[in-house]
Structure 1
């Protein structure tokens, strides 16, 4: 089986329009937002900005690969949303033939992650870069959410990318075995869905944030990958007396 060559998701790749180029190459039928649409979305979000400094709430890959320039980070909790693998991806961590899954904030519950504070003088250019990364196809809805310290004290408002349930990429409610299969097998231009999951677990652990649900999912994906590897090795063993 041929291994797909992967690229790292970097600031330089996004600034050069590399994500849009990957979509045109790997999923040309996927409708992406134009630069004008992203700029309008950012203007509308900033128009609703509450008083105080701007924080970004990270719950997935932004924890371990924030990419934007920030001045401070804090463990933070939000209410009314939970971390879930509920977005299909045909680019980056999957393909059209075997879509992967990425995290989003879905409705209900709560979520503990990391809040990054963005310097006021760098706010607009850094958010513009973030919009090029996250607001690719309209799968997310940016919202201002209250962020709370572990002791429950509110310390500010943060931009959070919540799932857009009307998006064609929304994949909430998949059977657990299908979530595991996709995470264990999907691979795209910037890596595997499994590594996305494992890196998120490591990122949370590095900040001292437990997530038993994600840890259990990672263990299940590891078992699936091991079983697949074992079955592949068995299939490669020639039958006795066969042609070498």
Structure 2
């Protein structure tokens, strides 16, 4: 592994393409800050995990991993805006999972009830290539609290420790995998619905189209050929919003 002086030593092409964690929206994000907004939208009070539930999830997942450096696998927006401090980033591949556009957003992030958005989740499949970020052991506790507030706000994922293959060898990563019990995970979406949600969804974090554009940009920079991403992007750009 490389030294801690240059996080982008393995991938200089990512320099300037990843949001500085110190200025990331997600660094100070707290799900509870959106309670009033959700109430105004008519979203049930239990829209999010409680702080105690989220912390229990973090402790359970990281049991035995708080005293070592920790890798985090990124396949979606974590690739360009992780929000946590990292000292190394590597292109990484996991087997048994794929990047799937099955996360329907009606909560105002990149979509609404009137115009739902769509984002990716890690679901069953032959493999997925993304990024692995390394957090030093002295920062794991603090940085994963930030990570959990962002990824486990609503319980749409199951945090899991999995192996990822990199040019530097196999690393153990925490990955956030689609929770099939969550209502927002929609594996039954038609292609037309996926395209429409991506083309029209918008919220406080931006649009669903911007989300997939960012993803495509980072996959291109890394030489990752994910045809599902690029075909959905092309279809969404060509979507007729007036129809």
By the TM > 0.5 criterion, same fold?
Answer: yes
Aligned to 2:26: 11
Residue 183 to residue 16, structure 1, CA distance change in 2 (3 Å): closer
Residue 111 to residue 125, structure 1, CA distance change in 2 (3 Å): same
Whole-angstrom CA distance in 2 between matches of 1:161 and 1:16: 17
Q: Return the TM-score normalized by structure 2.
A: 0.82
Return the match for 2:163 from 134, 146, 155: 146
Count of aligned residue pairs for this structure pair = 219
User: 1:27 touches 1:96 (CA, 8 Å); kept in 2?
Assistant: no
| Structure 2, unaligned runs of 5 or more | 1-22
Return the match for 1:167 from 160, 176, 182: 182
CA RMSD of aligned residues (A): 2.3
Pick which of 161-170 and 22-31 moved more.
22-31
| Structure 1, unaligned runs of 5 or more | 1-7, 233-244
Deviations 1:159-190 (A, max 9, x none): 00000001111111311111001110111122
Pick which of 189-198 and 199-208 moved more.
199-208
Alignment of 1:102-121 (within 5 A): 102-121=119-138
List, as ranges, runs of 4+ consecutive aligned residues in structure 1 with deviation greater than 6 Å.
none
Residue 32 to residue 155, structure 1, CA distance change in 2 (3 Å): same
The structure whose Rg is larger is: 1
Q: Return the TM-score normalized by structure 1.
A: 0.82
Query: Which structure: greater helix fraction?
Result: 1
Whole-angstrom CA distance in 2 between matches of 1:196 and 1:96: 18
Alpha-carbon offset, residue 19 of structure 1? 4.9
